[in-house]
Amino acid sequence: MLLIIALTLLPMVAFCAGGGLHIGDKLPEITLNNLLNSNTHSGQIKSLTKGRALIIDFFATWCGSCLNELSKLEQYQKQYRDQLQVLVVSNEKKKVVAGFLNKNNDLKSLPFLPEDKTLEQLFPHREIPHEVWINKDGIVSAITSDEEITDQNLKDFFNGRLKQLPIKKDILDYSEDMPLFKDGNGGSGNTFLSRSILSKGIEGISSFAKTDIDKNGLLTRFIVMNNIPLRLLYDAYSRLQFGSLNFKRVIIDPADTASLLTSYRLRGTAQSLYLVTYEYIPARPENPDQAFSNIFNDLNRYFDISGTIEKRAIPCWVLVLKDKGKLALKNNDHEQVYGKGGAFHNVPLKYFVNALQWYYQMEPVIDETGYMDPIFFDITIGPSLSQYPDIKTIKTSLANYGLDLLKETRNVDVLVIKKKSQ
């Protein structure tokens, strides 16, 4: 009983292949054999329709949705018997369909055609119920799902005023044994709602990482192209806020940096990879905290290494305020500028702190100034991001604004990488 209920709630699938007729084509004359629930057991299709419109309903005895549709068609057959002929078609054996009819003896007005091959080839489909509308002149007028068979649509059909109904489109070449969307299996893949995808490195595209944030500050996409798994974990941990892979923010336990920078195994396989690509697109925009938690969990499942974010006591640069009067905003220009040429105009102090984090192998920078107002200063930082910053020059510049950088030890979040047990 539970199985019957479950089948009633799910769309059912039938399998066939080949070409077929389309809307506007004329139905050829066909001889029907082994008819059940009919005055004759065989005959041409025109002798069954007798000038009436024809609805061909493809069904299976195991299909709960089909049973619901048959009850509706039984009522329409009685109501419009002078204008409509319904033909119920199945590719199942005659004895199976006959047994079904013995258990459903309320279906007395509908002729059934078991062991069909001809109509199924003319109207190939996968999902059932599958409805084909043939007008009284034998022309295919519509090919639809059962949802389109309504009282109003039938009246319009009989009167020649049937509007263009949505065409039921079944993907006939879908294979259950192939991954979804691979080589077009199930479609191009453009209909996906969300995805988390890992692939080998993609030749011909340079390495990059990118996070897309919408106007509400929510994450809509995260991608790391052609990089090592350690970098993927690092970018998810840092949210792309800390620049290049920084081993002052990463602890490898046990220390085995060389092996983790060369080749990686996918979890549970013997496959070795060097560069990989990962992309995450949520079903709906997500809070970055939740999104990066999902991403981090994904990556931990994929690889033979795992990452955790832990508090560790490590050397840091601590930004402190020594003279608040020197830092107070003294410029009436309200344009926001940050980072360009060392300029930080009309922005919170965190913009300067975040900018320092991007420099090569820079220790974590902690803001302990407690200063929340906008700042306006120009700092001489020194070399490019690919080099360690010139701390001495930075400290000299900061002194003009009552600030200083101190080397201290603090408990901060770091990425801890471990090899998974075999």
Least confident piece of the model among 105-109, 290-294, 337-341, 358-362: 337-341
Number of domains comprising the chain: 3
DSSP-based three-state secondary structure for 281: strand
C-alpha pair distances (Å), 290 with each of 222, 238, 286: 13, 14, 7
Report pLDDT for 1.
Answer: 37
Give just the sign of the alpha carbon dihedral 255, 260, 262, 265: positive
Residue 169 resides in a domain: no
State which amino acid sits at residue 175: S
Q: Where residue 135 sits, what CATH number does that domain have?
A: 3.40.30.10
**Is 183 within the bounds of a domain?**
no
So what's the pLDDT on residue 217? 94
Residue 185 lies in a domain: no
Q: Mark whether 298 and 358 lie in a shared domain.
A: no
Specify whether 387 is located in the same domain as 250.
Answer: no
Q: Closest by alpha carbon to 398, among 383, 372, 377? A: 377
Is residue 191 situated within a structural domain? no
Alpha-carbon gap, residue 42 to 33, rounded angstroms: 4
Report pLDDT for 245. Answer: 86
Question: Binning pLDDT at 50, 70 and 90, where does residue 327 land?
Answer: confident
Instruction: Tell how strand 84-89 and strand 53-58 pair up.
Output: parallel
- Looking at the fold, whether 321 and 305 belong to one and the same domain comes out as no
Q: Check residue 88 and report its DSSP letter.
A: E
What is the per-residue burial (b if ≥16 Cβ within 10 Å, else e) of 119-148? bbebbbbbbbbbbbbbbbebebbbbbbbeb
Average pLDDT over residues 163-186: 84
259 and 216 in a common domain: yes
3-state secondary structure at position 333: coil
Domain boundary among 158, 192, 220: 158
User: Does any domain span residue 186?
Assistant: no
Mark which of 158, 173, 194 sits at the end of a domain.
158
Q: What is the mean pLDDT of residues 176-194?
A: 83
| 263, part of any domain | yes
Question: Do 299 and 339 belong to one domain?
Answer: no
Domain that holds residue 298: 204-310+415-419
Q: Record the pTM.
A: 0.66
Query: Per-residue pLDDT averaged across 324-346, rounded?
Result: 79
Distance, in Å, from the CA atom of 103 to the CA atom of 91, rounded to the nearest integer, reads 19
**10 Å Cβ neighbour count for 3?**
9
| Residues 273 and 334 occupy one common structural domain | no
Among 5-9, 39-43, 236-240, 255-259, whose mean pLDDT is lowest?
Answer: 5-9
**Of 158, 190, 219, which marks where a domain is finished?**
158
CA 375, CA 417: separation in Å to the nearest integer? 37
Q: 303 with 331, same domain? A: no
pLDDT above 90 for 277: yes
Question: Per-residue pLDDT for 63 more than 50?
Answer: yes
Residues 302 and 344 in one domain: no
In a domain? residue 187: no
Residue 375, pLDDT above cutoff 90: no
Tell me, yes or no, whether 154 and 222 share the same domain: no
Q: What is the pLDDT of residue 101?
A: 94
The position carrying tokens 């984090």 is 357
How far apart CA 303 and CA 372 sit, in angstroms, is 41
Query: Is 226 part of any domain?
Result: yes
Of 129, 148, 133, 14, the residue nearest 69 (C-alpha) = 129
- How far is the C-alpha of 234 from the C-alpha of 123, rounded, in Å? 54
pLDDT in tens, 122-147: 999 989 999 999 999 999 999 999 99
Residue 392 has, within 13 A of its CA and on its CB side, a CA count of 0
Res. 40 pLDDT band, cuts 50 70 90: confident
Q: Which residues contact 89 (CB under 8 A, 6 or more apart)?
A: 56, 57, 58, 59, 112, 113, 116, 119, 120
> Is residue 242 located within the same domain as residue 295?
yes
Q: What angle do CA 107, 112, 118 make, to 5 degrees?
A: 160
Distance CA 36, CA 71 (A): 17
